Amino acid sequence: MRSVMKKAALREIRGSLGRYLAILAIIALGVGFFSGVRITTPSMVNTIGSFMNEHELYDLRLVSTDGWAEEDADFFADQDDVRYSETAYELDVIFNYKKAKENVLRVHSLPVNINRPEIVSGRMPQSPDECVVDADMAKLPPLDSKLVVSDVNSEETADSLKMSAFTVVGTVNSPYYVNFERGTTSIGNGTVSGYIYISSRKPLK
């Protein structure tokens, strides 16, 4: 009986070989697509999770309009279950570069233990007038070029920075920015084009 069924099946396949191969290809494509969908999510989670863990993405961020003192960071560091605690600075600034104006970049102080950026090209800044920039920025300035603080910045913003220009010495990826959007701002065109890190732990006056 099995031999008869086998012969009938083979005869049916030979009689409509094109349709059989098409159905086989559709099944294979469906299985492959399903397997890809099933494995994509855990793969992406593992990849981004490993990057965040390796570069110590913070678990909790405390923001104060009055600022924080180093003593405050020391206080939090002494709490149970706290591995690292450190102060950081950030400021939205309009820069001129590559003949473009009103590019808003978010300036960060270079962290020590938390949110450590990963160098993509070049090197980390070593002096107060050097910086590393967002490797995924649309208008990426070349290495050794200068980011000049625009005159359209408010007097308060201009006075807050120690330097009026920064030399680009490298590009980085940061665990602080894991999506494509860089945020919004109240200055310039309202959109943050990218971020930069400068070497000083206290870049502001």
Query: pLDDT tens digits, residue range 96-115?
Result: 886 666 789 999 998 888 88
Number of domains present in the structure of the chain: 2
Residue 191: per-residue pLDDT: 87
Residue 202: per-residue pLDDT: 45
Residue 107: per-residue pLDDT: 94
Residue 108: per-residue pLDDT: 92
Residue 2: per-residue pLDDT: 63
Residue 36: per-residue pLDDT: 79
Q: In this structure, are residues 172 and 118 in contact, taking their beta carbons and an 8 Å threshold?
A: yes
Whether residues 112 and 170 fall in one domain: yes
Whether residues 26 and 123 fall in one domain: no
Strand partners, 118: 173
Is 80 inside a domain boundary? no
Is 77 inside a domain boundary? no
Q: pTM of the entire structure?
A: 0.72
Residue 171: per-residue pLDDT: 95
Residue 203: per-residue pLDDT: 42
Whether residues 39 and 95 fall in one domain: no
Q: List, for residues 156-196, the tens digit of each pLDDT value.
A: 888 888 888 999 999 999 888 877 788 888 888 888 989 99
* Per-run averaged pLDDT (10 residues), the chain, 205 residues: 68 74 86 80 72 79 80 84 85 82 86 88 91 89 90 86 91 86 85 87 44
Q: How many CA atoms lie within 13 Å of 200's alpha carbon, on the beta-carbon side?
A: 15
Whether residues 93 and 44 fall in one domain: no
* Structure tokens that stand for 39 in this block: 């494995």
Q: In this structure, are residues 132 and 108 in contact, taking their beta carbons and an 8 Å threshold?
A: no
Can you tell me the distance from the alpha carbon of 88 to that of 73, in angstroms, rounded to the nearest whole number? Answer: 10
